[in-house]
Amino acid sequence: MDVESSSSTAGDSPQRVVRGRPRGTGRGRYSSTRARGSATAPRGRRGRGGRTAEGRDAVLQLTRERSDVAKRHVQTLNLEQCQDILVQIATQSASVILDIMEQSNPSPEQPQPMPGVPAWCTCSRCRDMPTEEEKVCCGRSPEHCTTLLPDFHVLCLDEAVLALARLYREDVLALPADDNFNRANRHSAYRQYVLWTYGKLGAGQRKVIPSCVVWKIRTKYPEPTGQYVGFLPGRLA
């Protein structure tokens, strides 16, 4: 009697309470089971790893086919057509032509040793430096000095590459442009060499640039006064 009175007071009849509980409970169990089944079953059928392998094989096959087509096309060209294509490649990517020239000429012209080459230099292109810390050579033989590599000329000496590197740095760090053209190119070339050789350095980490590289950059972009800052532990210039 007391139970019925409590139910009536709550505004619910005994029949509604009995009907509501099984229906809600059953619906929850069924929905949860179906959701788990729909989430797990398709993943097993998809086999994402298999699709990735198939896609990789398709890309490799397409690359081989494109290479074969290009080779067949080149074999049909005359000398003038080949020269035109090489000029276009050199315009878009000079490093490709320089690499091909390097491979086709395994015995490049021997560089003439500079007078007064310091004893710690092995590439014959270094100059004496003002501090012991700066007396560093690239460590290569004279015919393979870093300053002779095609990539070095493109990444560290090319005016267009250095200009783009300066613009990117000025935009990211919100730095003002350097009005001194040669000085701006020298500093940009130093940063390019460090990035090319060592990757991005953390705060406070500095690398000494080989003397041969430093003087190659200075020769391309000289300071009229002949006075250079040199290596400082806290900066790259």
pLDDT tens-digit map of 123-174: 999 999 989 999 999 999 999 999 999 999 999 999 999 999 988 888 877 7
pLDDT tens track for 67-94? 888 888 888 989 888 888 888 877 665 5
pLDDT tens track for 19-72? 444 444 444 444 444 444 444 444 444 444 444 667 667 767 877 888 888 888
Would you say residue 154 lies in a domain? Answer: yes
Domain that holds residue 150: 132-220
Q: Burial of 28 by CB count in 10 Å (0-12 exposed, 13-18 middle, 19+ buried)? A: exposed
* Its pTM surpasses 0.85: no
Would you say residue 12 lies in a domain? Answer: no
Would you say residue 69 lies in a domain? Answer: no
Q: What radius of gyration, in Å, describes the C-alpha atoms of the chain? A: 35
Would you say residue 190 lies in a domain? Answer: yes
* 134 close to 218: Cβ distance less than 8 angstroms: no
Beta bridge partners, 232, equal 235
Cα–Cα distance between 62 and 73 in angstroms, integer?
A: 17
Task: Determine the straight-line distance between the first and last CA of the chain, rounded to whole angstroms.
Answer: 95
Would you say residue 193 lies in a domain? Answer: yes
Q: What is the number of domains present in the chain?
A: 1
Q: Burial of 184 by CB count in 10 Å (0-12 exposed, 13-18 middle, 19+ buried)? A: middle
Would you say residue 202 lies in a domain? Answer: yes
